[in-house]
Structure 1
Amino acid sequence: MEAVPGAQAVSRALRVLRAVARTRSAGINLAQLVRDTSLNKPTVHRLVLALIAEGMVEQDPQSLRYFVGRECYVLGSIANERFGLGREAADAVARLARSSGDSAFFSIRSDVFAVCVLREDGDFPLKTHVLQPGTRHPLGVGAGSLAMLAAMDDAEVERCLLINDQQLKTAYSNFSVPMLRKEVALTRERGYSVNEGRVVRGSWGVAAAVRSPSGDVVGALSIAAVESRLQRDRQQEMGRQLQEEARHLEKHLAGAAAMRPEQKLKRIVRN
């Protein structure tokens, strides 16, 4: 493929922006950005200044920490209007958290990755804090991510696994391409995915994929809890609930697309 001029700079700028976004309201300092992006300090400083100039990042004048800027909110609002996921997805996550007592999530697909965008905690006092809005994993890593991968056709599954193979080997010791192929098959049989502590020991999850009206994988709804709360019987119970909420969200997406035929949902833009 022919190289696109400036593509590396854009890719690095997005890496910096994502690192800022992962910290949410805590913000991040320059030294942390350098560590999290694996870029050198002058490059990170230059890119973060460019992002500030465009309103994508803001710096607190007292703490000097960096935060997501207002322009990100504007772009997010526009994307939310296009994909029609906002309020309905938030309502689904809230219902799941309330009924289960555990932590509920909505994650979206970003090409070969899954990104958590919503989290709601239930009232059970013991929680797992592994997944937060902004957390990004290769497809297949974690319950929601695995549900998305399993919902794709075989050719797309293999493409994702091939691209992520090296990252799985270097950063996710409990995962491998052969193992994920088996997990995809099991997920398809059940209709929902199960993560039995493979990302972090003791943190288990169950998830169901959500599709757009065109059949593309949009995201996944998931529940995460400590191991003792997600044994086999409750996995099945939560799996059914998640599937019901996923189908409800899909009906909303279909209705929104029917009302706006010129803006029918297509594949999520690959980042």
Structure 2
Amino acid sequence: MRAERDEVHHADPEGPSGTQSVDRAMALLDLIGRRSVEGVSLSGLVAGSGLNKATVRRLVLALIRAGMVAQDEASRLYHLGDQAQVLGAMAAQRPGLARLAGESVMRLAQEVGDAALLSVRRGASSLCLLREDGAYPIRTHALVPGQMHPLGVGAGSLALLAALPEGEREEVMAANAAHLARAFPHYAPRLPALVAETAAQGFALNPGLIFEGSWGMGVALRHPGGRLAGALSIAAVDSRMREARRPELLERLRAEAARIERKLAQVAPRQGG
């Protein structure tokens, strides 16, 4: 442990400083948070972050000192720490999007019988905040809470991307182009047309283009002034989203989106916009 403590004071071989170190530490915290229940190893963090081992160890030790991360003494795996849990509980008390939309996400899943999801934008990516599964026994598990995709990948994510101003939209797609080409080679060439179609019709439809048999439909959520708040979507197996059923799904989706936006409007004065 002495060696690990001393290492914190050595210069990082990659020399990150300032906001770069913060960004990397937050990325590691995100990786640990997504696997906090089972835990994640140091080698797993190195592989998941693309950083070298010395950098990962240095940043994780800083997160441990801050109480954001804890290491199991027996398994040596990393989990979220007590301070992260405290902050999560405090955040849950605020009237944020997840809290305001929770009832609608649950009701939508109950009404349609399939999965209902809430997503938000995080830079050039989308993050799934909430998921509720309906009663239909066959489910698609293409997206779970805490999972991130490049903006445009998946129905909710596509709705988010299409809702951006055109110039910003183009910047995001350019930033994600290389990653999309590697991770989703069959989908990437179709994205510009899908974005244009989504923007024109006011909702996103993913007809099993990311994972075969996994369909989705999504709409953007906005704050009272028009600022993008997130996206509400439905995910289902292909047989549950055939053309005859889509109007009903879209109607229920838009109804719950409108309820969420009304709640956003009610808290806007207290949150300054």
State the TM-score, normalized to the length of structure 2.
0.87
2:221 to 201, 210, 213: 210
RMSD (Å), alpha carbons: 2.0
- Asked if 1:35 is matched to 2:47, the reply is yes
- Matched with 1:116 is 128
Tell whether 2:178 aligns with 1:152. no
1:75 is displaced (CA, Å) by 3.8
Query: After alignment, is 165-174 or 104-113 more displaced?
Result: 165-174
Aligned length: 258
Give a deviation string over 1:225-269, Cα, whole Å, max 9, x none.
Answer: 1111111222332122111111111110111113x1xx324xxxx
Consecutive unaligned residues of structure 2, counting only runs of 5 or more, are: 1-15
Letter in 1 for 2:108: L
Q: Deviations 1:175-229 (Å, cap 9, x if unpaired)?
A: 32x5222112211233211112222222111111111122111111111111111
**CA positional deviation for 1:50:** 1.2
| Structure 2 Cα separation of the partners of residues 236 and 27 of structure 1 | 42
C-alpha separation in 2, matches of 1:165 and 1:221: 25
Structure 1: segments with no counterpart, 5+ residues: 266-271
* Secondary structure of 1:232's aligned partner: coil
- After superposition, the C-alpha distances for 1:145-203 in whole angstroms (9 at most, x for unaligned) are 00111111211211211211121122221332x52221122112332111122222221
Provide the residue aligned with 1:227 in structure 2: 238
Identity of aligned residues (%): 45
Q: Shift in Å at residue 77 of structure 1?
A: 5.1
What is the DSSP-based 3-state SS (H/G/I as helix, E as strand, rest coil) of the residue aligned with 1:134?
A: coil
Post-superposition shift, 1:24?
4.4
Per-residue deviation, 1:82: 5.8
The letter for the 1-side match of 2:140 is: T
Alignment partner of 1:26: what SS?
coil
Task: Please name the residue that 2:38 is paired with.
Answer: 26
Query: Is 1:12 matched with 2:20?
Result: no
**Residue-by-residue CA offset, 1:25-55 (whole Å, 9 max, x unaligned):** 2222222222211222222222211111112
Match of 1:142 among 141, 154, 159: 154
Instruction: Report 1:75-94 matches (<5 A).
Output: 75-76=87-88, 84-94=96-106
* Displacement of 1:91: 0.8
**Normalised TM-score (structure 1):** 0.87
